[in-house]
Amino acid sequence: MKRMSYTLLKKQLEDIGLDRDVALTVFANLPLEAPMYEISCPGDYKGHRTQIILQFLKLDQSNYHSLHQYTLRLYRTPRHRHTIIGDIDTAALEHRMRAINWHSPIGNDEASARQAVAVWLDMQQLASTIGGRLAKEYLELKYWSNTPFVTSEHQALYDLLQMPVAGEITVGVKNGKALAIDQACRYLLGEINLNRAKYGPEQTYLMRCEKMDLSLILQHNRHPELTKEDHYFTTLKKAFEHMTQYPDAAFSPQGVRQEGLDHWIQSIQLVDGSDGATLARRKGLWPPFYRRWIDDAACTGLTLNYHRISRGEFCQETGCELELEINTQLDANISVLPKQSLPPVLEKNGHPVNMQHTQYKQVAAASNGSHRYPPAVTFSTKH
């Protein structure tokens, strides 16, 4: 596995307004194997607390991650009237706190460390009076939330007293460029107008393979753990082409044992990356319900989410010829099979049975044992 170039990562983050410390943190924690990685970066904009969630993806079977999008959440700071308590001017204290980046390692800079110690001492002095404690809690909430300077007890309180969200925006990286974070903050505060569609993330598709370890199945584990293997693609066609690379034998426990495979695939899903909706699901037709129709689990079927994509749209986007269409009683989705994997020609009284819009069970019952099975299944892709 290859790691993303630090120079490229640093440039991508600097272009949107993040500093070198963030780039170092991301680079040090970027997992080589994971297809998707997210990291949250707290920050501040004109006294308002921000949270930036960076998302890195491996797209189209790439060996390294790239910044795909970031989500910015801006929190409005509660109002507080400054005053003088003892010999501490809370307005001046806040001005000093604003000048320090509390989310970065302060110990690396001697001057910042001295300023931080002086602020800490003044904050402790504020706690001696009721008015001072209110000012201290306000400043802690504003500058020290999610930093090492707040105790876990106080952090739990701050989470309960979460400041109202001013807004949220997800910004995509297009051709290596994205809207700067300060511009996104200004948009959420109503200072500028933006066409959100122009700066939105690029469309992606997730291919998720759910599988089980064969050794767990052989141990008669009634509830073996499913493992998920994710891949991200820029087009539905690329995601579908990768889906078809898995052999039919992997979808059947019998086939897995016969072929000496390591895992039994329960299903493969094609998911819309924008909202997480499943578009299609590939499963083996091996359960007893289908065995009178499909010989020895020789086929896999594809179920489309007809609420999101029609058979025609799916064929157009993927280049796959899907011929057979069979309604199911379980839901409003549609089950289809590739052109080269049509089911057996079922005959009744010497005449073929009409396969269109017929229930699986009815077709199987109508066969009376007269089957002519097709060859092994292959998905047909237009070129």
Cβ atoms 81, 110 nearer than 8 A: no
Residue 121: partners with Cβ closer than 8 Å, 6 or more residues away: none
Question: pLDDT band at 259, cuts 50/70/90?
Answer: confident
- Residues 6 or more apart whose CB falls under 8 angstroms from that of 199 comprise 169, 171, 172, 178, 179
**In terms of pLDDT, which residue wins out, 367 or 262?**
262
Angle between the 130-139 and 90-98 helix axes, to the nearest 10 degrees? 20
User: What's the confidence (pLDDT) of residue 159?
Assistant: 55
Instruction: State residue 16's pLDDT score.
Output: 93
Which whole-number Å values give the CA distances from 158 to 6, 51, 145, 146, 149, in the listed order? 35, 15, 7, 9, 13
Mean pLDDT of 90-109: 81
> Mapping DSSP to helix (H, G, I), strand (E, B) and coil, where does residue 327 land?
strand
Q: Read off the pLDDT band of 283 (50, 70, 90).
A: confident
β strands within 153-249, DSSP E: 165-172, 205-213, 227-233
Give per-residue pLDDT as tens, 139-153.
887 777 767 776 655
At 156, phi and psi to the nearest 5?
-60, -40
Give the list of residues 6+ apart from residue 32 with CB closer than 8 angstroms, or none: 1, 2, 3
CA distance 337 to 307: 18
What is the predicted pLDDT for the residue at 3? 63
Q: Measure CA of the first residue to CA of the last residue in the chain; give whole Å.
A: 31
Counting residues of the chain whose pLDDT is more than 90, the rounded percentage is 23
Select, from the ranges 34-38, 48-52, 157-161, 301-305, the one with the highest average predicted confidence (pLDDT).
34-38
Q: What region does 287 belong to: left with phi over 0, alpha with psi -120 to 50, or beta?
A: beta
Amino acid at 263: H
Cα 316 to Cα 378: distance, rounded to the nearest angstrom: 18
Q: Is 68:83 a contact under the CB 8 Å cutoff?
A: no
Average pLDDT, the chain: 75
pLDDT in tens, 50-79: 889 999 999 998 888 889 999 999 987 666
And the tokens for 220? 């008669």
pTM: 0.69
Give me the DSSP letters along 333-379.
Answer: -EEEEEGGGPPP--EETTEEPP-TT--HHHHHHHTTT------S---
Could you tell me the maximum CA-CA distance found in the chain, to the nearest angstrom? 103
Residue 278 is predicted with a pLDDT of: 93
pLDDT tens across 72-98, in order? 999 876 667 788 888 889 989 988 988
Looking at per-residue pLDDT, the higher value among 114 and 379 belongs to 114
Which of 246, 377, 221, 374 shows the shortest CA–CA distance to 299? 377
| pLDDT of 151 | 60
What integer pLDDT is reported at residue 154 of this predicted model?
Answer: 58
Structure tokens, 41: 């970066």
